[in-house]
Amino acid sequence: DVKVTQSSRYLVKRTGEKVFLECVQDMDHENMFWYRQDPGLGLRLIYFSYDVKMKEKGDIPEGYSVSREKKERFSLILESASTNQTSMYLCASSLPGVRKTEAFFGQGTRLTVV
């Protein structure tokens, strides 16, 4: 089974802190994603990576950056956390081509910014 592991289930950070969310997948998938999940808004794509050191902005990249130094690891960085970034963050990975739409998700990190 594909396993996508997010380093933290719950995080509480202060406004202005730099926050790192880590994600590791064990199936050698080329593609990795970071989504944000908010009630009533569904899953919104923050960033996407299709290879090591390669990244593309999603729908809501403002206030976020990403790092992919190794194929299995994709990190989301909140440069200066703000209260409106309080949310559930979901990491996912997938195969290339049409299979990219079949994403495997981690359990999520619920981030609270106070």
Partner 1 sequence: QQQVKQSPQSLIVQKGGISIINCAYENTAFDYFPWYQQFPGKGPALLIAIRPDVSEKKEGRFTISFNKSAKQFSLHIMDSQPGDSATYFCAGGGGGSYIPTFGRGTSLIVHP
Binding site for partner 1 (CB under 8 A): 4, 33, 35, 40-45, 48, 58, 90, 92, 97-108
What is residue 84's three-state secondary structure?
A: helix
Cβ closest to partner 1, residue 42 vs residue 62: 42
Question: What's the min distance (Å) between Cβ of 2 and partner 1?
Answer: 10
Cβ closest to partner 1, residue 64 vs residue 105: 105
Burial-class residue 38 by CB neighbours within 10 Å (0-12, 13-18, 19+).
exposed
Cβ closest to partner 1, residue 18 vs residue 92: 92
Give yes or no for a contact between 95 and 31, defined as CB atoms under 8 angstroms apart: yes
Cα distance between residue 44 and residue 65, in whole Å: 15
Cα distance between residue 108 and residue 65, in whole Å: 18
Question: What's the min distance (Å) between Cβ of 11 and partner 1?
Answer: 15
Question: What's the min distance (Å) between Cβ of 80 and partner 1?
Answer: 27
Cα distance between residue 58 and residue 46, in whole Å: 5
Which of 77, 79, 102, 107 has the alpha carbon at shortest distance from 91?
107
Question: What's the min distance (Å) between Cβ of 15 and partner 1?
Answer: 26
Cβ closest to partner 1, residue 14 vs residue 39: 39
